Amino acid sequence: MLLLGAAVDRSFPLMSLLIVGDLVVEQYSNGVPRPADWTSDIGFRKQISPRFVLDAGVGRVFHGLRPAWLVTFGTTYTFSISALVPEARPGAH
Amino acid sequence: MRISLIALALLLGCGYYEQTYMPASHNWAFRHKYPSADRLFNAFDYGHAIVYQELIAHPDGPVSRIEDDRFTFITTHLLVHPPAVPLDEEAIGPRYAQLLPEAHEMFEWAHILHRQIYDIWADDRIPPPAKDSAVATVIRYYRSRGDLAFSTTPKSMSLMDGQFYSMAFRKKYPKFTGLLWSYHWLQIVLYDALMRGATPAERQANVDTVVRRFRAMLEDPPAHMPSVMPMTAAIAPEFAERYPDAAIIFDNLHAFHDVVADILASPDVPPSRKRAEVLAAAARYRDGTSSITSVADWRQMSTMMGAAHMGGVPW
């Protein structure tokens, strides 16, 4: 399979926001006669609190065997675990 | 766990790695209780990152790029409407983060210590006697990263003012220097604001006083800004007396901020030597042997320079 992709991003640091767009082409080479899939996506990553990040995106397979819409949504939550931090244990010196 | 992280970081080709806050119930207490002051910290992140970015990306740029354009944006827009969350300095100063990732991480790590100590003193659930032990814990956590932690030994001023590149930034950009020093003034004086308040209402009033005084510093710049680097023992004597290790760490942090700016601004340091000079200075500010002075001399030096020149004490 041949997979080619390109992406661009633009950050807006003062808004803690990143916008990303990409274009991906997938060409299968296993002898199956089918057109290449062309997919384009756009999405963002937004920090909404010191520990919480949201990301979401939408994409479209606009050329290929089965044109389709894609939607993605995710979150990242940063935390630490006391048991893994020796200095945070009670009585640590 | 830590060994694994270090090994992973080395395998990935970088000699340092990011680390998050020490887990604690007091985390983010300051952010929730004093949002107007907390948001200013977020804006402060921009000031340092953008000035380093400018000095690296536009070494021959006109003085007005920093002294007028950036300064005006910061004082009339950013500090008026500060961001709600800490900013990503790599996005503000990508060239700075690429050239000096170790210094960037040292700053980030010290800023976490700053914030965790504010949190301890902002958290009313922690009684005053227990705050000392909580502060000792976060300092211990901070010092567990020897590759990032500033020394708890005071450094003589020669480390900041006696190098061949010293004063380069301060002479060329006096207004922006005053702005950065006013940041440092607020960061330090807030400790005494929290420690001097016996009740939540008193602490809130003290924090409001400090924020008001900071904003007054921005009027008619640089007339009301600090004219020398604020030192903790002079402008936050209670904090420096109670937590000398933290006070020394923060003085070393703030001095190193100035040193990085001097190295980047100095025409005597060629571009090919900037990184090496910053790393050499960083090592000296982390170790406990280079250009050290006694705690007594550090206190005397701080007060001799005069708190009034450092922004003053608001009470």
pLDDT by residue (tens digit) across A8-59? 999 999 999 999 999 999 998 777 788 999 999 999 999 999 999 999 999 9
B77/chain A closest Cα distance in angstroms: 11
- Asked if B88 is an interface residue toward chain A (Cβ–Cβ < 8 A), one would say yes
Query: What is each CA distance from B123 to A41, A88, B163, B198, in whole angstroms?
Result: 44, 17, 42, 13
d(CA B311, CA B223): 11
Contact predicate B291/B159, CB 8 Å: yes
**What is this model's ipTM?**
0.84
d(CA A24, CA A7): 9
- Asked if B298 is an interface residue toward chain A (Cβ–Cβ < 8 A), one would say no
- Asked if B17 is an interface residue toward chain A (Cβ–Cβ < 8 A), one would say no
> Number of C-alpha atoms within 13 angstroms, CB side, residue B8?
7
The residues facing A25 across adjacent strands are A4, A38
DSSP symbol at A18: E
d(CA B312, CA B214): 11
Structure tokens at B233: 């023992």
Query: What is each CA distance from B133 to A16, A90, B251, in whole angstroms?
Result: 35, 10, 22
Contact predicate B113/B142, CB 8 Å: yes
B273/chain A closest Cα distance in angstroms: 29
pLDDT at A77: 94
Whether the link from the prior residue into B174 is cis, omega within 30° of 0, is no
Chain B environment of A11 (Cβ under 8 Å): 88, 91
Residues of chain B below pLDDT 70: 1-15
pLDDT at A83: 86
When the pLDDT of each residue in chain A is averaged and rounded to a whole number, the result is 91
User: Are B20 and A78 in contact (CB < 8 Å)?
Assistant: yes
User: Are B23 and A82 in contact (CB < 8 Å)?
Assistant: yes
Give B146's contacts (C-beta < 8 A, 6+ positions apart): B286
Residue from B19, B85, B115, B133 to probe the interface with A (highest A Cβ count within 10 Å): B85
pLDDT at A87: 79
The percentage of chain A sitting over the pLDDT mark of 70, rounded to a whole number, equals 96
Residue of chain B nearest A91, judged by CA positions = B137
Contact predicate A75/A55, CB 8 Å: yes
pLDDT at B108: 96
A residues 27-86 lying closer than 8 A (beta carbon) to B: 47-50, 78-82, 84-86
pLDDT at B14: 56
Q: Which of B85, B137, B141 sits opposite A50 (nearest CB)?
A: B85
In the block, residue with structure tokens 């700075």: B96
Q: Which helix (H) or strand (E) holds A61?
A: strand A52-63
| Amino acid present at B160 | M
pTM higher than 0.80: yes
DSSP symbol at B77: I
